Amino acid sequence: MLASGEVEQADQVAALASALDQGGALEVSSTPVIANTRGALLTPTSPPLTAPSEAPAELTETPGALETQAVISTSTPRPTQTPPPTRGAPFALTGQEAVCDPNLPDGLLQVMVFNSSRRQLPGMKIIITWDGGEEEFFTGLKPELGNGYADFIMAPDRTYTVQLGAGSEIASGLSASTCQPSDGETFLGGIKLTFQQP
């Protein structure tokens, strides 16, 4: 039945077989309709089974199309998806520092996100906006740098605003500043932001 696409009928036959196998009472409220392999309809000619010790019902063929008979399904409804738990209170901006490291890419904005226990949180959406644009990026995509780590390359001469999608304080007026090392050429520095739940 499953191979021919008769999933509902197969489920009913499986439920019947399970009830008979477990020795429980089987209640038949009206004349059930069971399709055999030739497409004819089978109906029992003896009273419904009430105990496993009684003889099984005899089945006789009743010609007719399967779609003309009403088959009542008593399948169990599927569970509904529950919403994910909330991550708690909005995040506070606990750190903002300029970074001048020639080993990092120019204009690198680094974001770290922690919960109230100082554990890094992966999958946190970060929204960055600037005049005429907006982008989203997420923590945890570079686990070698930390589960709560995310980064973004800032363009020179552009000012950015950053906040978490889960709700946080807003870090505004962010831009890549020029770093002047004592023994080399100037380069664009970066910024490191830290957000944490209170």
Q: Model's pTM, two decimal places?
A: 0.55
pLDDT in tens, 37-64: 444 455 455 455 444 555 555 555 555 5
Residues 175, 159 contacting (CB under 8 angstroms)? yes
pLDDT in tens, 148-190: 999 999 999 899 999 999 889 999 999 998 998 877 788 999 9
Q: Where are the domains of the chain?
A: 7-68, 92-196
What amino acid occupies position 198?
Answer: P
Query: pLDDT band for position 13 (50/70/90)?
Result: confident
CATH code 3.40.640.10 for 92-196? no
